[in-house]
Amino acid sequence: MAEDRPQLYLLTPPSFDLDVFPGLLARVLEAQEVACIRLALATRDEDAVMRAADAVRQVAHEFDVALVIADHLHLVERHGLDGVHLSDGARTVRAARKELGTDAIVGAFCGASKHEGMNAGEAGADYVCFGPVGESALGHGARAESDLFAWWSEMIEVPVVAEGALSVDLVRDLAPVTDFFALGEEIWRAEDPVAELGRLVAAMG
C-alpha cells in the first residue's frame, strides 16, 4: 500500500441482515486494509442497533479494525466500541470527549463548512468529515468541493475524511488532498462489493 495513499473508512449500510452482512464485511476486510468502520444504521430501534453493534464489532476487532457508531454515544462503552461519529458538526464534540475520555475516537461530520470543521477540530475531534463530495439529494445539497480539502490538508493538522456519493473520478481527484475516503453505499449497492471497493482503491493511485 502506498504510504501517502488515503486510508479506507467503511460505512455500514443503513440496514442489513445480521445473518448475511458480517460474512460480507469479513470478505471486504480480507481484501483491503481498512482503518475504521462506522455503524451507520437508519433505525431508531435500540435493540436492533445493539445487536448490529455486537455483530459488526466481532468482525471488526477480528481484523483489528476500529469501530465507531453514528451518534449513539451511550452505546460506545456498553458495547466495547472504539468511539463515536457525530453528525451534528462541532456541537457535541466536547461533551462526547468528556464522556468517552481521551482514548476513544470522536469524529464529526461538518457538511461543507470550513468554519464548522475548524470548531470541531478545536473542540477535540480526532477527524473531520466533509461531504457530500458528489451529487446527492441528501442534506442541504451543498457539496464539499476539492478546494476545501486542499485548503484543509495544507493548513490543518486534524485528519480529514471525504464522504458521500464518491465515484472513481472523485476518488482520483481527491486522493492527494484527503486522509480518508468514507465508502458505504458506493460499494454495498454493487453486485460485488469487494470488486467495487478494489476499483475505487485503484483510483487512489
Question: What does the pLDDT look like over 53-76, one tens digit per residue?
Answer: 999 999 999 999 999 999 999 999
The pLDDT of residue 122 is above 50: yes
Nearest by Cα to 108 from 40, 11, 116: 116
User: Which residues touch 130 (CB under 8 Å, ≥6 apart)?
Assistant: 110, 111, 112, 117, 144, 148, 149, 152, 160, 161, 162, 163
The pLDDT of residue 31 is above 70: yes
Contact 172, 204 (CB under 8 A): yes
The pLDDT of residue 114 is above 60: yes
What CATH number does domain 7-202 carry, 3.20.20.70, 3.20.10.10, 3.30.70.20, 3.60.9.10? 3.20.20.70
Q: Report how far residue 138's alpha carbon sits from residue 111's, in angstroms, rounded to the nearest whole number.
A: 11
Q: Report how far residue 189's alpha carbon sits from residue 205's, in angstroms, rounded to the nearest whole number.
A: 24
The pLDDT of residue 109 is above 60: yes
User: Which residues touch 191 (CB under 8 Å, ≥6 apart)?
Assistant: none
The pLDDT of residue 137 is above 80: no
Q: Report how far residue 103's alpha carbon sits from residue 74's, in angstroms, rounded to the nearest whole number.
A: 16
The pLDDT of residue 176 is above 90: yes
Residues 1-28 have a mean pLDDT of 91
Residues 165-179 have a mean pLDDT of 97
Contact 37, 12 (CB under 8 A): yes
Pairing of strands 160-163, 66-70: unpaired
Q: Report how far residue 116's alpha carbon sits from residue 132's, in angstroms, rounded to the nearest whole number.
A: 15
Give me the count of residues in the chain: 205
Any idea which residue has 455500514 for its cell? 12
